[in-house]
A and B are shown apart, each in its own frame.
Chain A
Amino acid sequence: MILWLLVRRSLRQHLLSTVVTALSLALAGGLLMSVWVVKRQARATFTGQTGAWDAVLGARGAKLQLVLNALFHLEASPGNVAFADFQTMSSNRAVALAVPIAVGDNYLGYRIVGTLTNLFTEAEAAPGRRFRLVAGGRWFEDGYREAVVGSFVAQRLGLKPGDTFKPYHGLNFNPKEQHEDEYVVTGVLEPSNTPADRVLWIPLAGLQNMSGHAAATSSDVSAVLVKLRSAVAGQQLDMLYNKQGDRLTFAWPLGTVLAQLFDKMGWFDQVLELVAYLVALVAAGSVLASIYNSLSARRRDLAILRALGARRTLVFASIILEATSIAALGMALAWGLYAVIMGAVSAVIRAQTGVVLDPWAWDPVLVIAPLALVGLGALAGVLPAIKAYGNPVAENLAPES
């Protein structure tokens, strides 16, 4: 009771430094939690975001580039695959489903992907979840200039069934490179929280035969998405395409391929973590400095308390509790800051990749980091507390002249 009263009053008396110190701790806590959660969720979401696909077949090249291009609609396509290769894959008894995709055009910066309707009707958006259309729409029909628009694109561009658009050549928007072909939107995908939301889907033949595309490669596809019947099939195809063959790349297993992305970015994670730890250390230092400096002004108050009968241990505990309270206040603010940072980061990641992070998802770091920082704050109070503990009473009772 006395402790709380002493701490409360002290915090109030040094309100500005209390708030500034708590804010610096909040920044450290918010950063630490955000870095950890983004890292973990991004890894889990990306590696689990391969939908119902087990592998991707593409031109000879880096597996990671192939997967990022075919499943996440990032990066450039490593090259083309002959339609016959798709047919071979499709007819393989070890393959449950193979769907070709073709890329190379965009509409106002959003990628256009040519495919077959069985991508929507036979494959899954995510394990156990099918693609669905918003009411009033229908899938495009192969052979027609029709399109199904991802939910994110529809929302951003205001597209709805019945609207028309003319694609632009290339993966990046260039107003001078508009095709003559006009497509009609037949449906809008319900949000799937996958990269499919960021794409305009058209019939495979539509993209292959778009005006201005090379006739020689008009039957090629960019990649083939593959659903296997078993893991053994993956090993067989890996052997066939990657080890025995030298013309195509078979990216399998997808989780392992995508993990390379995060392994490559490991240094970046470490830098972010290091920054967060440094901010935490600086914040703890500011707790120490703030309380330590305030002790000069409080020497007389501490002496008065001791003269009234307060024990040294009470004075010590009050300083530790004060440091802990500042840290706890900082952590309360840190959760707010975390929500803001995560909201911004998840919005950016969604806009760039279609992958949706959940800022409100439970993660142990949301408790561990604040507890650790409160502990660090308490630790930062030890030095000032020792100084307060040893504050001589008699010589500090008289006011400073």
Chain B
Amino acid sequence: MALLEIKNLRKSFRTPYGQFLPVVDVPGFYLDSGELVALSGPSGTGKTTFLNLIAGILTGDSGRILLDGQNMTTLSEPARDRHRAAVIGYIFQTFNLLQGFTCLENVLLGMSFGPGADRVRARSLLDRVGLGDRLDYFPRQLSTGQQQRVAVARALANRPKLVLADEPTGNLDPANAAQALALIRELCAEQGSALLLVSHDPAVLAAFPRRESLATLNQASRTEVVL
């Protein structure tokens, strides 16, 4: 059974003029456990919305998202929150670290909504991403590349079955981007996590055996809606 199975997923947003504009219209998509998949697509093809729908941050208008045996479209919001914390690790393009918390606390917070904070594992993961000597640093005290590594450690701290990565290298220089990508792939492989990565960087996409074009996958993207 696939880890992630999507059927007829549709999502529209209401414009200020009262019209409903379709943003996501995916007839079908699947992802197996441990599989690494890259989604490509230019801006405005609904990449982030698609990932947010999978994570249960947004709810679709119709369709089904079956994630690890749970239908995210029918779960209540608290249940979706629980499922997200337990099954998904999310890496954002802008890292989304909590600025008032140290590196270690950022990782621990991510864990605390899932199986529970494990200080030893959090330290070990930060050590693994090369930040063992920066545990008590705040995000603003780190370089961009280091911040992304904290975000990677946080996303993988709960041993998620699925890692969603939204342009994880978009804010990094080529050298840091390559390092971050390698790190994400290594950690996912080590933990057996599936990875669904969104990028429009050809160098990043080339590193994945399975690549999908969201422009093709998402029928709504053909309506040239820019979001």
Identify the A interface with B (CB < 8 A): 1-2, 5, 9-10, 12-13, 300-301, 304-313, 393-394, 397-399
Contact = CB atoms under 8 A, between A and B. Distances in A.
A304 B90 CA distance: 10
Interface in B41-64: 48-49, 52, 55, 57-58
B98 A306 contact: no
A304 B96 contact: yes
B58 to A, nearest CB: 5
A234 B133 CA distance: 87
Given A301-B100, A307-B96, A394 B52 contact: yes
Contacts of A1: 112, 117
B156 to A, nearest CB: 13
B110 interface: yes
B109 A397 contact: no
B98 A305 contact: yes
A383 B100 CA distance: 23
A309 B81 contact: yes
A309 B58 contact: no
A393 B57 contact: yes
A394 B85 contact: no
Q: Which of A12, A309, A394, A398 has the most CB of B within 10 A?
A: A309
Given A2-B112, A394-B58, A309 B100 contact: no
Given A393-B57, A394-B58, A397-B92, A311 B78 contact: yes
Given A5-B105, A394-B57, A306 B81 contact: yes
Contact of B109 (A2, A394, A398): A2
Contacts of A308: 85, 90, 109-110, 113, 154
Contacts of A5: 101, 105, 109
22 contacts: A2-B109, A2-B112, A5-B101, A9-B100, A10-B100, A301-B98, A306-B81, A307-B84, A307-B90, A307-B92, A307-B96, A308-B85, A308-B109, A310-B81, A310-B113, A311-B77, A311-B78, A312-B77, A312-B81, A393-B52, A394-B49, A397-B92
A309 B96 contact: no
Interface string B86-127: 100010101011111100010001101110010000000000
Contacts of A398: 94
Contacts of B114: 309
A350 to B, nearest CB: 49
Given A394-B52, A397-B96, A305 B109 contact: yes
Given A5-B101, A308-B85, A310-B81, 17 more contacts: A1-B112, A9-B105, A301-B98, A301-B99, A304-B96, A305-B109, A306-B57, A307-B57, A307-B90, A308-B113, A309-B81, A309-B84, A309-B114, A310-B113, A311-B81, A313-B78, A399-B94
Q: Which of A5, A304, A393 has the most CB of B within 10 A?
A: A304
B21 to A, nearest CB: 15
Contacts of B210: none
Contacts of B117: 1
A5 B52 CA distance: 27
Interface residues of B, number: 30
B82 interface: yes
A13 B105 CA distance: 15
Contacts of A12: 100
A106 B78 CA distance: 80
Interface string B139-156: 000000000000000100
A298 to B, nearest CB: 9
A312 B113 CA distance: 12
A3 to B, nearest CB: 10
A399 B78 CA distance: 25
B110 A13 contact: no
Given A304-B96, A311-B78, A312-B77, A9 B58 contact: no
A10 B100 CA distance: 8
Nearest to A6: B109
B141 to A, nearest CB: 15
Nearest to A309: B85
Contacts of B105: 5, 9
A-B residue pairs, 9 tightest by C-beta: A309-B85, A309-B113, A9-B100, A13-B100, A304-B96, A394-B52, A311-B81, A393-B57, A2-B112
Nearest to B101: A9
A308 B90 CA distance: 8
Contacts of B85: 308-309
Nearest to B49: A394
A398 B113 CA distance: 21
A398 B167 CA distance: 12
A304 B98 contact: yes
B59 to A, nearest CB: 10
Contacts of A306: 57, 81
A2 B85 CA distance: 15
Contacts of B78: 311-313
A309 B82 CA distance: 6
A291 to B, nearest CB: 15
Contacts of A301: 98-100
Nearest to A312: B77
A9 to B, nearest CB: 4
A12 B90 CA distance: 27
B150 to A, nearest CB: 13
Nearest to B93: A398
Contacts of B100: 9-10, 12-13, 301
Contacts of A394: 48-49, 52, 57-58
A301 B98 CA distance: 6
A2 B52 CA distance: 24
